[in-house]
Amino acid sequence: MNQQNHTANETMSTAETLSAIFFEPARAFDSLRARPRFLAATLIFIAVVTLYNMLLIQRIGYENLVRRNVEEAPRLSNMTPEAKEQIIEQQMKPVFKYLSYASPAVVIVLFIAIGGALYLAGALAMGGKMNYWQALSVYVYSSLPPVILKTIADTVMLFLQAPEEIDITQARRGLARANLGFLVDATAHPVLATLLGVFDLFAFYGLYLAAVGLGRVARLSAAAAWGVVLVVWLLGVALRVLFALLAGTAMA
């Protein structure tokens, strides 16, 4: 059946949609076109990432985490030990500890808002028909399965390694390496590691879901949907490479 003739009236409950996105993504996105929704998926997204962040902090210890972050940060390498200790003391204040727990939620909401806007702009530019709430739904639901699967893998790896052996920088991005970033030393070659790291199985799974979602929800051809998804992905890659170049820290 031609993609332009999808059944537009099929709707599922939120629970059914959350299940279908793993096993029948096309049906899930057909339902989201008819009734856009993203709140439950966003809350699950935030809960999963926040839980991993909490487990990471508890596994390593907040003070150890702060100390190792300061000692291993490339931009602080030229500081005196006394200056580093002052930063550590500052970071040990309760407000910073609470922020370390809450920060993932803020970042996720920001990324979802921007991602939805980019998908909307791209779909409209390619002649698609969708609104912002539909674009948000596509972005959230296409991101959720890879995030859940990757977080499960990261959590397993977190408890398989001794706390003192965990690479803090890598742990923030995820300990389960499903990309090519492992081929180079991320500390010595942060930009190259970032470039290789974007070739990631979890990320590609998300891109596939996003292309399916834009095709079904915005009524785009497969080529147009993939075009929007890849342009947005490449924009993200460029920003990550730029950050790695400026900060001297790999983003993969």
pLDDT class of 2 with cuts at 50, 70, 90: very low
What are the residue boundaries of the structural domains of the chain, listed by start? 11-247
Round to whole Å and give the CA distance between 28 and 141: 9
Handedness of CA 187, 188, 194, 197 (dihedral sign): negative
Angle formed at CA 243 by CA 237 and CA 246, multiple of 5 degrees = 140
Digit-coded pLDDT (tens) for 58-110 = 888 888 777 777 776 666 667 777 777 788 788 787 787 788 878 888 899 99
Q: What are phi and psi of 66, to 5 degrees?
A: -65, -45
Digit-coded pLDDT (tens) for 168-225 = 777 777 788 888 887 887 777 888 888 888 899 999 999 999 999 999 999 999 999 9
Round to whole Å and give the CA distance between 188 and 154: 24
- CA distances from residue 23 to 29, 188, 242 in whole angstroms, order as listed: 12, 41, 36
Digit-coded pLDDT (tens) for 232-251 = 999 999 999 998 888 777 77
- CA distances from residue 44 to 15, 35, 60, 117, 141 in whole angstroms, order as listed: 12, 19, 24, 21, 11
- pTM confidence score: 0.86
pLDDT at 7 over 60: no
Q: For 157-212, give the DSSP string.
A: HHHHS-GGG--HHHHHH-SS--BGGGGS-TTT-HHHHHHHHTSBHHHHHHHHHHHH
Q: Annotate 101-112 with b (16+ C-beta within 10 A) or e (fewer).
A: eeebbeebeeeb
- Tokens encoding 189: 């070659």
Digit-coded pLDDT (tens) for 131-164 = 999 999 999 999 999 999 999 999 999 898 888 7
- CA distances from residue 59 to 51, 53, 117, 155, 171 in whole angstroms, order as listed: 12, 10, 36, 10, 11
- CA distances from residue 85 to 77, 81, 144, 168, 248 in whole angstroms, order as listed: 13, 6, 39, 18, 22
